[in-house]
Structure formats: structure tokens, C-alpha cells
Amino acid sequence: MTRAQLIEQIHRKKSYLCVGLDTDLTKIPKHLLSLPDPVFEFNRQIIDATHEYCIAYKPNLAFYEALGAKGWESLEKTIDYIPKDIFTIADAKRGDIGNTSSLYAKAFFEQMKFDAITVAPYMGEDSVKPFLEFKDKWVIVLAHTSNPGSADFQLMQSVKGGALYEEVIAKSQAWGTPDNLMFVVGATRADKIAGIRALAPHHFFLVPGVGAQGGDLAQVSAAGLTRECGLIVNSSRAIIYSSSGIDFAQAASTAAREVQQEMKALLEKYSAIGN
């Protein structure tokens, strides 16, 4: 998907919501468990119920790998099922030596047809660049994550000035462009988002941590929205597990619509995407 197509979708839906498909057999409604592929059936109903209100879906690979080959099949069916105008993110946090990153890129971009993948930057340029060599595909580099442990290394101050996450943002901008590179910036770091926006004024940020992790959508949006939106805000548990009953899809739809309505108001308030 191109940047223009992504922005067009945001404009059309008045939403920058990504729904995280962290589908867990221990959390999905019990009545689905007797079906041949409960994970796909859950995802299918969630997608049907939320696709009007979100512009992206983000399966976290761990939830599928935990089920082995069968989980992988559920993931492949899910990606095939998502409407083609919606942005798809493999939340995989991969990153390896060059020839290995190339293989991961083929797995996620060619075999699975994801639009984007999250990548961990620890191994540097040759671990990230192979993902940037695919037309209309995106790399989303971990910069400042939403978890408590992000303080351990990402905030390490360099003798050259700045923290590790700032160095990651600065260096990786030389590897990609705003047309194929985004950054992960946790919503729980709202105080940092304005500073990060100054470092990367034109790049989209994928913002996890709203909802169950405690991030605040209004704060994130005030600090991070641009004239082309520039944000994709993810919510997983707060939407997909909104109800554990037979009404789970309806409840997810209501929850997604509430977030979309808040986003519509924020896009207008900050004159984002030309509103």
C-alpha cells in the first residue's frame, strides 16, 4: 500500500485506528472453541464488525506461533480475509543478519502479503534494509516502546548527545523514507511524542499502548498528529475482548466505533488531513 492510499483511507473513514488481532484461545468466547478453526472464526467476525471503523489490522505473531503450524494457517486465512484496502501489519519484531532478514521479508511481504512489519533495530542497518527493498511495503522500526523495560536500554544516553531511541530514529531515516518507514512510539510515552515528532516530522508513527496499557488517545494525538495524520494508533484487548460472550463481535464494533468517533473529533480539532 502506498502512503497516498493509506492517507486516503484515513481521510475517508475519519479514523487512524489499528485493531490488534492478539487472538488468544484462552480469551475468546467459549462457543467458538468447538469450531474447526476458532482463531480464524474469531478474527473473521471481529474484522466484519470493525472494518468500517479502523484503517489497519495488526496480528501479533506470538499468538499464532504459540499454536504451531495450525496457528500459522489461521494467520494466513486471516490475512487473506482482510479487505484489500485496509493496511496490514505483521507485529513480528524481527531483525537478523542481512540474508536472514531478506528471508523474513519474503515470508511476510510475499508469502503472507502483509503491507508492513515491525522490526527491532538492535542489529543495525543490514538487519533493517532488506525489509525496505519491497515496493509499496513498509518497515516499522521499534523506537520508544510502550513497556516498562523500554527504560532499560532505549533511554541510554549517548556521549554524542541524545538517547538510544533518538539515535535509532536519526540513523534509520537514512535507510528509508516517509514512504516506506514508520516508527513504533508507545502511547505510554505521551510526554516524549512531541519531541519524537520534531525528530521525524513526516514519518507515520505506530502507537501501541492505548487501552489496556494505559495510554491516552487525546494526549498522543495532540503531540503526534500532522497535516497528513501521521499516526496509526493501535488498540488490541480493549476492542477485541470488549465482551467475552456471544455478543463479542457487536461489542467490538461498538468499542471500535467509539474510538473512531473520538479520532474524528481529534482530526478536526487539529486540522489534520485537511479537515
Q: Which residues are catalytic?
A: 93
Per CB under 8 A, residues contacting a second copy are 22, 24, 60, 62-63, 65-70, 72-73, 76, 91, 93-98, 100-101, 103-104, 106-107, 111-112, 120-128, 142, 145-154, 156-160, 164, 167-168, 171, 213
The cell numbers describing 81, all together, are: 480475509
* Closest CB 136 distance from a second copy, rounded Å: 20
Nearer to a second copy, 12 or 70 (CB): 70
Q: Dihedral of CA 79/84/33/20: which sign? A: positive
* Closest CB 153 distance from a second copy, rounded Å: 6
SS3 at position 233? strand
Q: How far is CA 242 from the centre of its chain?
A: 19
The cell numbers describing 255, all together, are: 468499542
* Closest CB 103 distance from a second copy, rounded Å: 4
Nearer to a second copy, 70 or 227 (CB): 70
Nearer to a second copy, 140 or 168 (CB): 168
Nearer to a second copy, 147 or 271 (CB): 147
Q: Over the range 127-160, which residues count as b (16 or more CB within 10 Å of their CB) and which as e?
A: bbbbbbebeebbbbbbbbbbeeebeeebeeeeee
Nearer to a second copy, 124 or 178 (CB): 124
Contact assessment for residue 17 and residue 55, using Cβ atoms and an 8 Å cutoff: yes
Q: Which residues contact 111 (CB under 8 A, 6 or more apart)?
A: none
* Closest CB 261 distance from a second copy, rounded Å: 27
* Closest CB 247 distance from a second copy, rounded Å: 25
Half-sphere exposure of 25 (CA within 13 A, CB side): 15
Contact assessment for residue 131 and residue 101, using Cβ atoms and an 8 Å cutoff: yes
Phi and psi angles of residue 240, each rounded to the nearest 5 degrees, phi first = -75, -25
